[in-house]
Amino acid sequence: MEATKLKKSKQRDAILSFLKTRKDHPTADTIYENVRKDIPNISLGTVYRNLALLTDIGEIKKLSFDGTSDRYDAETSPHCHFRCRNCGKVIDVEVDGVLEDILSHAKVPGQIDEQITVFIGTCEQCMDKY
């Protein structure tokens, strides 16, 4: 589906602009709690539907991790993520040039549409705690 053919939606706009203010890859629940402050009658189902739509048209990215809720990211340029296995936070990671390098060296029997790289470990805050 093309973005230009979509009817404008106040709810979708609110979801997208909220997500653009966040760098912490919030879950649908967090997005719902915040968008509700502006649009009190929005439902969680509507939030999910719009997040799926925004993902489909490439306005946002969905990050799926085993065993936890999906996270959403308004930063659609190629970047990697770091996930803390202790507190579950997801942080953007810059890896200059290396991503393109991996892609050009990957021997894939077909065409690559997307590359998802997640580093897993313990974040600084959690390391301080133990």
Q: Where on the chain is the footprint of Zn ion (CB under 5 A)?
A: 73, 75, 84, 86-87, 92, 123, 126
The rounded Cα 63 to chain-centroid distance in angstroms is: 5
The CA–CA distances, whole Å, from 39 to 18, 24, 66 equal 12, 22, 31
Output DSSP code: residue 113.
-
Cβ 88 to Zn ion, closest distance in Å?
7
Per-residue buried b or exposed e for 110-121, using 16+ beta carbons within 10 Å of the residue's own CB: eeeeeeeeeeee
- Residue 111 CB, shortest distance to Zn ion, in Å, is 24
Minimum distance from CB of 5 to Zn ion (Å)? Answer: 27
Nearer to Zn ion, 70 or 75 (CB): 75
Q: Which is nearer to Zn ion, 6 or 87 (CB)?
A: 87
Please identify, using beta-carbon distances, which residue of 35 and 60 lies nearer to Zn ion: 60
Indicate the residue among 113 and 124 with the shorter CB distance to Zn ion.
124
Residue 52: CB minimum distance to Zn ion, A: 18
Measured distance CA(25)–CA(7) in Å, rounded: 26
